[in-house]
Amino acid sequence: PNGTNVGEARKRIATLEDEADWMEALVERSVESLETYLRKRPTGLYAENARKILRDLPRG
């Protein structure tokens, strides 16, 4: 697709994918799920949130 809105559509798709990955990490809310999110999206929309939650989670 080369339409006039292709750039905006790609940005929106990327945002939706990021949000889906974040929701998946939050549902589990484990060290592993948050680290998986950060590996996939180190600069993602929720990367800082993931890092903060990881710092606050008890490690076992």
Question: Where do the domains of the chain lie?
Answer: 6-56
Tens of pLDDT, residue by residue over 21-45, are 999 999 998 999 999 999 999 999 9
Q: Give the Cα-Cα-Cα angle 23, 26, 28 (nearest 5 degrees).
A: 115
For tokens 């800082």, name the residue. 48
Task: Share the mean pLDDT of the chain.
Answer: 94
Q: Which residues of 20-33 are buried (b: 16+ CB within 10 A; e: fewer)?
A: ebbeebeeeeeeeb
Region 10-22 average pLDDT: 98
